[in-house]
Amino acid sequence: MKVLVAGGAGYIGSHCVRQLLAAGHEPVVLDNFVYGHRAAIPAGVRLHEANLADAAALDRLFAAEKIDVVMHFAAYCYVGESVADPLKYYQNNFAAPLALLDAMLRHGVKKFVFSSTCATFGIPEKMPMTEDLPQAPINPYGQTKLDVENMLKAFARAYGLSFAAFRYFNAAGAAEDGSIGEDHEPETHLIPLAIGAAQGLRPALQVFGTDYPTPDGTCQRDYVHVDDLSRAHIAIFDKLATPGAQFFYNLGTGTPTSVKEVIRAVEKVTGLKVPVNYAPRRAGDPPALYADSGKARRELGWTPKFATIDAIVETAWRWHKAHPQGYGDRQR
């Protein structure tokens, strides 16, 4: 199928573009390069550079490309920034997807795959987290994602839109061949921060809180490889043939990994020491967040290929070792 990948030059989107190619589909990238990287787009993949809320640009794109399925990876995802500047997040994470869905309906495209987040659950009632837990976001980032999920439900009922919403846990790692990887500015993800600190390219790693009720006192999270996420997005395609179909899946390995365990994995894989500064807890950090992804495993036949933190870190290290300055298109 011909698949429009909104945000296809970003971290997860660019990995999904490569997985689409590997699966025999035809990706088309839409990106405005606020955070994306041109070098992350494979040669030969068509690119439309535009803002997601630009109705005229979207009309030109859909008229030219005859899209079958749309994937959305174009959200902003900095929790702290969403609290400080919620207007930015509602404009990009809610109003822009609304414009995209409006354009899809105008052009008769009714299959949509949405990159959602476990942040829609807020502070969960239990672990591991299942899809049926109450959703009560505690920041505008999570709220905008939930608002889009609710919008998709309404569009499915009213217009026959078929969609899947994948609620990620901690996306991590890089392409197995080292061709693309993770390069954010600012970088907030633990694994690239730890690797950069070990390389001497970033400051000592800040670890917030060592007194959590976890085995080693540091927060636990569920790290899931970016290519495993991508494969789940492609596995849903056949299920979108039914008009109005709705699917929600949590995507994680189901294994909680602590901050200290990530540091040990980085040191083991790289052979380098990670310099660490310990600091008090940050407000709003739950002790543990990890997925029950049994539904995705049962219904999609999805199994994470990179099931251990060491395997995930190995792919990340391959990228960062070869690209110490990332894609080299921004000042750090």
By the 8 A CB rule, do 302 and 296 touch? yes
Contacts of 43 (CB under 8 A, 6+ apart): none
pLDDT of residue 330: 63
Q: For the domain covering 2-172+224-251, report its CATH number.
A: 3.40.50.720
pLDDT bucket at 86, cuts 50 / 70 / 90: very high
Residue 224, number of CB atoms within 10 A of its CB = 28
Sheet hosting strand 2-6, strand order edge to edge: 46-49, 26-31, 2-6, 69-72, 111-117, 162-168, 246-251
CATH fold match for the domains 2-172+224-251 and 190-222+254-291+305-322? no
Question: Is 141 one of the annotated active-site residues of the chain?
Answer: yes
pLDDT of residue 329: 81
User: Check: CATH 3.90.25.10 for 190-222+254-291+305-322?
Assistant: yes
pLDDT, one tens digit per residue, over 257-310 is 999 999 999 999 999 999 999 999 988 888 999 999 999 999 999 999 999 999
Which of 35, 141, 212, 290 is flagged as catalytic? 141
Task: For the chain, give the mean pLDDT.
Answer: 96
By the 8 A CB rule, do 199 and 324 touch? yes
pLDDT of residue 331: 43
> Where do the domains of the chain lie?
2-172+224-251, 190-222+254-291+305-322
